[in-house]
Chains A and B, each alone.
Chain A
Amino acid sequence: MLNRKSPPTRQIPNKINITKAEEITLSNGVRLLVIDVGSEDVCRLDFNFFAGSRYQQKRIESRATLAMLTEGTAGLTSHQIAEKFDYYGSFCEHATDRDFGKVTLLSLNKYLDQSLQVLEKVIKRPSFPEKELETYRIKGKQSLIVELEKVTTLARQDFFKGLFGNTHPYGVYAEPQDYLDLQRNHLIDFHHKFITANRCTIVLSGKIGNDELNTVIKHFGESNWGAESTVLVDFPTISTPVQKKFFSLKADAVQSAIRIGRQLVDRKHPDYCGLVVLNTILGGYFGSRLMKNIREDKGYTYGISSSILTLKELCVLVIGTEVGAEFTFPALKEIYAEIDRLKVEPVSEAELDLVRNYLLGELLRSFDGAFAIADSITSLFEYNDLDYHFFEKTIETIKTITPEQLMNLANVYLRSNDLTECVAGPVSNLN
């Protein structure tokens, strides 16, 4: 008779095989990272530029520049570019955050050369046609207006504005009018200064053979492109927030959005890995304390989590949830209760053991397939200057941190007075 009561024996991998990227410095100085893992004949090519919104002079310049790259180049109209990418079954995407501007191409290997012929023009010689810019302006404005209807958007914006100040590069947000104020010459200027070879790292992942590699080198590695930019952009000092409570009214909402958190040390700080463990216990996985209490015990929400966001200069701890409007106060109370519990009550060995194993599994999962590996390695070079040792340090901390150390961290980093709290929802529940 099978024993169903007790779990099968489990093993926790002692060592995690970290797939490293092959690192190549191309003749024009561009750093190329290659991750050759995969069975399908497809690949992904990421261009990561130091060209996030922190470098812009006017709001949305960075995002608009990246978005408009595919809207016209020397010799190709927006429509022609779209036709070519679509015809070859490629996907050209862009993303911007505070620190980075990124262009990603997904391509079938058999059409990589054709796709890169277009992408080369897109990245090196965009023309930013006024007509396309006008479409971008009105579309962008309209979708931002829709976004601003959501309580999650309001709470998130209040949170970062509150944390860094609403004029700081890490706290500033675009307003609908900013789209209308966009000028073509802003984009030309931003592209000239920031979308350049010397601000770029390229990551090539998937099933990569010599053909794929040589194709990429041919289009992006031989000659220098973009200005030899040595632009220094002033980055204002980050100060500690003064006001710590924010509320945005959305009278007809049926749920309130909540964000609570603080500025945190960067990933190189000795406390960082321990904070990852602490955050996981609090709200970093399905079985976390916040989930158990606020969803699985009280049913106030569909989901609640706490996470550590990584920025170039520091990290941010943020707890986020949407709760039934009538549960706003009880949920806040429970969130603070869970935070306080971390400071006075050592985590049990059973819970800590679970979290250790969960985190090791997560780490292993971040090497599940070529693109997952590319993401993990990209984040390494962005925030730890490609130090694989970081993974080992993380594993070491996960395995050895003690309940007392975690309690100490909670007492240093989770002081109620240091937390910024933002709520967006109907006011009637918050008086």
Chain B
Amino acid sequence: MIEIEKFCLDNGLRVIVHNDNSTPIVSFNLLYDVGSKDENPNRTGFAHLFEHLMFGGSANIPVFDEHLERTGGENNAFTNNDFTNYYITIPKENLETAFWLDSDRMMSLAFSKKSLDVQRNVVVEEFNQRYLNQPYGDVWLLLRPLAYTMHPYGWPTIGKNVDHIKNVTLTDVKEFFYKHYAPNNAILSVTGPVNTKEIMNLSKKWFGEIDKRPIALRNLPKEPKQLESRKLEVERDVPFNSIYKVFHMNSRKHEDFQATDLISDLLSNGKSSRLYQKLVKEHNLFSDINAYITGDIEEGLFVITGRLFKDTTFKIAEMAINNELESIKNTSIDGYELEKVKNKFESNFKFGEANPLDKAMNIAFYELLGNANEINLEVEKYREVSAEKVKAVASKIFTETNCSTLYYKAKSNGSSSAE
């Protein structure tokens, strides 16, 4: 049970406090409700590039990191499809420095040309490092547009291609800032040896004078229901064939979400899971196989990825995966197995809460979903999922027409191609 206290400033900034005296460090987590789904389809990768620019100096503070490092602090940030998250860990004595720094960059950035020029290059190298210079690195650049024809989840956070990043101008940067960065579009969570009163005082002092900004209501294009199965084959210079299957699933707040997550655990959480036991250990078809959900706030994807052994054809691999999915649809899961995946979830969740920074991030995320306190109900929601529900949800998701399949073929390995 995480004890949470919340308040909201007049300018709309939501603040959440959790006291934890077991650590000398405060975790300070500021989440902005803007992600790559809010991007213009012709300017993708922008939310993430912008995250880099947030470290390029603000109106009153030319250099962000230095001040933090000088107080023994450490910080970083990440962007995903849904939101952008900035976090600081800092010795309790110097907590005010975090408020000073993050309130100043919320108030206004420096909008430096040099910073934009350099960070464009840095992000291009990040694109290279993560997506192009790794075996199988471009998979999500292929899968997303295959699965989504309209919705902005059709591109990855890094962007559709590097040209979008190369073409960004300072005008774009300013526009994006005032459109999305505002106290009324942010959630601050603070955990550690702190109390609500001091956090309220610091919040009012540093964030209180920032004005509310007009934030446009989010109006994302709806992804039309997929009506036929989609297939894509590519050939790359990788050592082994791989297969990827993605299915559209429900949104994060949908009542089926927890059941869907448990289905992915049934299939592949832990070595006793079905895909690993059957397809890796028993039938020796894959060297690696995984099932997971993207966990997005909007309607996300249920993903299955498998790396084939040399003698496994794509056809056999796909049939084997489909058999496992059919079995969840057709045969009711027994009580033992359901209990197992629920225990596993609970354990995962508890370990997440045992890490102070993770706890701060999770609290902010649950507030973004609607209410930070719901974090304390999550385990119960998973506990309530019934065997019938699992079967029903699987039947809804695992249909041929709801699926996009990618055959990622190894060039040197032409003999085991699809038939």
Contact = CB atoms under 8 A, between A and B. Distances in A.
Contacts of A9: 96
A146 interface: yes
A150 interface: yes
A222 to B, nearest CB: 27
B126 to A, nearest CB: 4
A39 B20 CA distance: 8
Interface stretch (B218-226, B349-357, B369-377, B392-400): B349-357
Contacts of A40: 350-351, 353-354
B300 to A, nearest CB: 25
A38 B287 contact: no
Nearest to B352: A40
Interface in B1-44: 20, 22-25
A206 interface: yes
A138 B346 CA distance: 33
Interface string A131-162: 01001001100110110011100000000000
Contacts of A298: 118, 121
Interface stretch (B168-176, B182-190, B337-345): B337-345
Nearest to B206: A2
A364 interface: yes
B201 interface: no
A20 B242 CA distance: 48
B69 A285 contact: yes
B133 A11 contact: no
Interface in A48-93: 70, 78-79, 82-83, 85-91
B100 A7 contact: yes
Contacts of B340: 83, 86-87
Nearest to B94: A10
Contact of B281 (A135, A206, A287): A135
B214 interface: no
A187 to B, nearest CB: 18
Nearest to A37: B22
A334 B59 CA distance: 31
A82 B240 contact: no
Interface string A275-319: 000000000011100000001111111100000000000000000
B245 interface: no
B237 A252 contact: yes
Given A4-B61, A145-B240, A370-B354, A302 B74 contact: no
B270 A82 contact: yes
Q: Which of A16, A151, A285, A365 has the most CB of B within 10 A?
A: A365
A353 interface: yes
B269 interface: yes
A255 interface: yes
Contacts of B350: 40-42, 108
Nearest to A256: B133
Given A138-B309, A255-B128, A354-B69, A70 B353 contact: no
A5 interface: yes
A208 to B, nearest CB: 13
Contact of A108 (B89, B90, B347): B347
Contacts of A354: 66, 69-70
Contacts of A39: 20, 22
B40 to A, nearest CB: 24
Contacts, number: 229
Contact of A324 (B23, B94, B128): B128
A370 B20 CA distance: 13
A76 to B, nearest CB: 12
B113 to A, nearest CB: 13
Contact of A254 (B128, B206, B281, B309): B128
Given A89-B346, A135-B280, A82 B271 contact: yes
A330 interface: no
Interface in B88-144: 89-91, 93-94, 96-97, 99-100, 104, 107, 117-126, 128-130, 132-135
B70 A368 contact: no
Contact of A4 (B60, B270, B280): B60
A412 B416 CA distance: 57
A189 interface: no
A255 to B, nearest CB: 5
A302 B72 contact: no
Given A4-B104, A8-B100, A146-B239, A353 B125 contact: no
A361 B271 contact: no
B327 interface: no
Nearest to A368: B25
A10 B89 CA distance: 15
A86 to B, nearest CB: 4
Contact of B71 (A37, A91, A139, A361): A361
Given A108-B350, A146-B238, A358-B70, A368 B23 contact: yes
B133 A2 contact: no
Contact of B205 (A2, A254, A353): A2
A8 B202 CA distance: 11
A383 interface: no
A253 interface: yes
A106 B100 CA distance: 38
Nearest to A363: B72
Interface string B317-352: 000000000000000000010011101111110110
Given A41-B350, A362-B74, A299 B281 contact: no
B351 A42 contact: yes
Contact of A369 (B23, B72, B100): B23
Contact of B69 (A38, A42, A287): A287
B307 interface: yes
A369 B122 CA distance: 33
A239 interface: no
B288 interface: yes
Given A89-B346, A139-B280, A368-B89, 16 more contacts: A2-B205, A4-B100, A4-B107, A13-B91, A17-B24, A40-B351, A70-B271, A82-B270, A87-B339, A89-B343, A108-B350, A145-B240, A146-B239, A299-B122, A322-B129, A358-B69
Ordered nearest first, which 5 A-B pairs have the shortest CB separation? Answer: A361-B72, A299-B121, A89-B347, A82-B271, A82-B272
Interface of B: 20, 22-25, 59-61, 65-67, 69-74, 89-91, 93-94, 96-97, 99-100, 104, 107, 117-126, 128-130, 132-135, 205-206, 209, 237-240, 269-273, 277, 280-281, 284, 287-288, 307, 309, 336, 339-341, 343-348, 350-351, 353-357
